[in-house]
Structures are given as C-alpha cells and as structure tokens.
Amino acid sequence: MKGNLEDKSMKYCTSSKHFQALASILLLLAPEVLFAQYLPTPDYNPLKIRVNLIIVQRADGSGNFQDNPADRSFLRNMMSVTNGVFADLTNRNEEYYPGQNLPFLSNAKLEFVPNILFVKDETGWNNRNDTNPSGVPYLSGWYLDSLDQQIYHADTLPKAINLYFTTDGQVYEQMVVKATTTDYNRLVFFKQHAASEIPVLNTRASIYGQYHTMRCHVGNVWLKLWWKRNVLHEPDWTMEYEVGESIAHEIGHLMGLYHTPDAHIHALMRTKFGGLRDYMTTREIATVHQMFGRYPSLWQFVPAEVNYGSAKADWVFAEAQTWKEDRRVYANIVIKTGAILTIQGLLLMPSNGTITIEPGATLLIEGGLVRRFNTPEPEAFGHTGDVGWKPTPPSPYLQESRDLDQAGVLRLSGNGKIEAAILGIVSGE
C-alpha cells in the first residue's frame, strides 16, 4: 500500500546531492566519541520539535478535516502515535544485526508538538493539482509553494515543520459528493500518504543548508478516513496508526534519515509499508540529534529553552578542540582545566544554558559568534581583541568571575563576538 509514496521518496533519496549529504553525515559520525556525544541517554529531556498540521480545505471549507472536537481528536491521536513510535522502540538488534552487540535505546528522545491550522485554498486543497509527478515537495516548484511561503513567513506563527494535508478532488467528488463509487483504493491518485525532502548540511556546496521551510505532503488522510468510516466501518484508530506511523517515517527523512533494508520489517525507515515501525538503530538516533545540532533549518523548529537537561549531555572539553562549523547545542559547555575551545563559527546556546571555563581553561572566540538562540539579531559584545578576565569594570555579561587566579580565560580575536547579555560565564571551582 505504501508503494506509491515510497517510489517518490526513493527517487528523491537517490539524487547525488543527497548521497553527498549522507557521506558527510557518515564522516561526521565516524569517530565513536562524536557518535556517543549525540546519543541521548534515558535521563535526557526529549528534543521538542514544532510541527504544523495544515488542513487545506476547499474555498467553502469542505473536503477535509473540520475544526471540531472529533476531527481535532483524530489529529491529536494520530500525532500521539507518531510520538509513540520514537518514545517506545523495541530492541530488534539481534534479529537484524546478529552478533554485533549493538547498543540499544528504547527512547529516541524526540517529541513532536503539533499546532493545527485550517486554511482555505481551492487549488491547494486538491492534490490532483500537484503537477510534479514524483509528489515530493522539493524546495521550489511545488504546487503549494506560495501557500507555504505565506505560512512560513507569518510573523504570528512560530517556525515549524509544515505537514500539508490535502485531498484527491476527483475521488472526493465521486465518492463523497455524488456517491457513485466506493472504490477508494483503485481510484485514488496518491496511494499513500506522504512524501518529504531530506535535509543537507550547511556547507559551501549547498545553498539549501541555510534556514528555509521544510514540509511534508500528507495526502488523502481525511478522504481515506471517510472511506474507512463509511464504507469499511472501521474504527478511527486503524487510520490513526496507519497515518501516525507514516508521518514518523516521513519526518524521519526530514530529520536526515535514509531508507533501511526491507528485510528489517519493523524498522522505522524501511521502504515498504507494513510492520510495526518500532525499531531504530542507535546510530539513526544519534544522526537525528546531530542533524538538530548542525543543520540550521532544523534549529528553527526547536524552542529556545529546550535543553537536554542532563549532565551527560554537557559538552565537556578536556583538551584543545576547534569548532569551525556553525552549531546549535541543547546543553551546557564545560571547558576543563588546561583545555582550549576555539570557536570559529556560530555557536547557539539554549536560553538557560551556560558555558563554564574552569581555572586554567580557555575559551577562544576566533572570528566566531556565541549567542543564545532566542536573541533576535547578533549584536557585538562590545570588546574585540584580547579580553582575558578583567574584574573591573564589572561586566554584566561575564558574571561571578570571583578572582583572577581562579578564573579561566576568555579571549576574543579576529572579530570574534559574544552577543550582549547572553552569557553568564562562571569560573569553575
């Protein structure tokens, strides 16, 4: 049943730029220490990720879910299924990777927070107007681009992954309005629900690595639900599971995951439909968390205050390391005595995160910028050049630098900046 959808996804997956992206992900994950850094342990808070469920109705409001308690309940339950996939995984390591003694995590620590939007759009409502034969909402040229741009740029809406729910207008007319057929399965154009893009890292080679909208096309959910209710007389939960799991798979793509072997029948990222969608490898979990650290278009969907809230999540530096690339972290940074952390790119901290520079440690902002994610625009710290710890005049930004002997060193060079009023840097014990 999922063949049509997966054909679309496969086409998208096999373009060369995505192999490049895959290669860079694998390279970045190669050192086991880095792999471990992105692996959420059971005491982590989940990464909260906003998603918009965009219900595209006809101009007269018909042809899709309605803004009423029953339909909202279906959509909420559907997203509970999606969240349940990531929060309650089953260990199938020995079944799929026998003898490898792979680590296993039952909770991927990913939570999707839905916001339901009802919009009227006479053209967009009908997914037969999607002239792209692959059905994938590529970054440009998709039939819902202008609606998507309106939603993505709306000041009143926080940035979210946009899931577009549309209807096959022809089948709607025949089955729901005129009641001349009940053969949904044979007549529907998009057989299964969803297709989405795969992100690429922010490299010079990719112009798509910057902030942009990310969306997923979820076709015919309401129409198939109508058919199940009125023709098959099935309870709603069968459709809640079917779609909730499809959405988990498609969001998996949006978060950087590729297809896995069909023999792994319960794997989330298996191409074919079917199976319980209850298995992810720890490497897949690490990949997703790494993507949220490294990929700007995923940063924007996580609220500023989100913090793994676990000491195990802290980035602890015990020796010299240089961060050249832009990065958002969801944890504190601790630079141990004798270590030097050099920041050459953008470093985004949680609104409640701290950077600790222990005595004898150094944070060197070398042409980089450190700021909190929720500060609207980068703003100069006010000093450039070497700063060190200067107790006078008291700085509102570098707090509790108790005395010079105990403090670590903060040095700004090469136009390096820490944005105003963003950091309480505390010298360690």
Binding site for Zn ion (CB under 5 A): 9
Which residue number, 9 or 297, has a Cβ lying nearer to Zn ion? 9
* Token pair of 193 as six digits: 């629900």
Please enumerate in sequence order all residues whose Cβ is within 8 A of that of 405, keeping only pairs 6 or more positions apart, or say none.
359
CB 217, min distance to Zn ion, A: 13
Which residue number, 7 or 71, has a Cβ lying nearer to Zn ion? 7
> Measured at CB, which residue is nearest to Zn ion?
9
Please enumerate in sequence order all residues whose Cβ is within 8 A of that of 140, keeping only pairs 6 or more positions apart, or say none.
none
**183 within 8 A of 164, measured Cβ to Cβ:** no
Which residue carries 């342990």 as its tokens?
41
For the four alpha carbons of 36, 38, 41 and 44, in that order, the dihedral sign comes to positive
Longest dimension (CA), the chain: 85
DSSP label of 365: E
Distances (CA, A) of 232 to 136, 138, 224, 237: 29, 34, 10, 13
**Three-class DSSP category at 138:** coil
* Token pair of 86 as six digits: 């990531």
CB 249, min distance to Zn ion, A: 6
CB 219, min distance to Zn ion, A: 14
Which residue number, 136 or 363, has a Cβ lying nearer to Zn ion? 136
Which residue number, 3 or 378, has a Cβ lying nearer to Zn ion? 3
CB 244, min distance to Zn ion, A: 15
CB 326, min distance to Zn ion, A: 28
DSSP label of 177: I
Which residue number, 5 or 346, has a Cβ lying nearer to Zn ion? 5
The span from the CA of 425 to the CA of 392, in Å, is 16
CB 252, min distance to Zn ion, A: 8
CB 263, min distance to Zn ion, A: 16
The span from the CA of 236 to the CA of 423, in Å, is 49
CB 8, min distance to Zn ion, A: 8
- Nearest 5°: the CA angle 106, 112, 116 is 150
Q: Which of 303, 330, 336, 165 is nearest to 243 (CA)?
A: 165
Which residue number, 171 or 291, has a Cβ lying nearer to Zn ion? 291
CB 272, min distance to Zn ion, A: 9
Which residue number, 10 or 23, has a Cβ lying nearer to Zn ion? 10
CB 271, min distance to Zn ion, A: 6
CB 260, min distance to Zn ion, A: 10
Q: Which of 272, 251, 181 is nearest to 223 (CA)?
A: 181
DSSP of 44-58: SPPEEEEEEEEEEE-
The span from the CA of 295 to the CA of 303, in Å, is 15
Q: For the chain, how are helix, strand and coil distributed in percent, rounded to 5?
A: 30, 20, 50
Which residue number, 12 or 172, has a Cβ lying nearer to Zn ion? 12
**68 within 8 A of 332, measured Cβ to Cβ:** no
- Number of Cβ within a 10 Å radius of residue 309: 14
Which residue number, 9 or 37, has a Cβ lying nearer to Zn ion? 9
Which residue number, 133 or 376, has a Cβ lying nearer to Zn ion? 133
* Token pair of 356 as six digits: 């600790």
Which residue carries 């958002």 as its tokens?
328
The span from the CA of 417 to the CA of 379, in Å, is 8
Which residue number, 25 or 151, has a Cβ lying nearer to Zn ion? 25
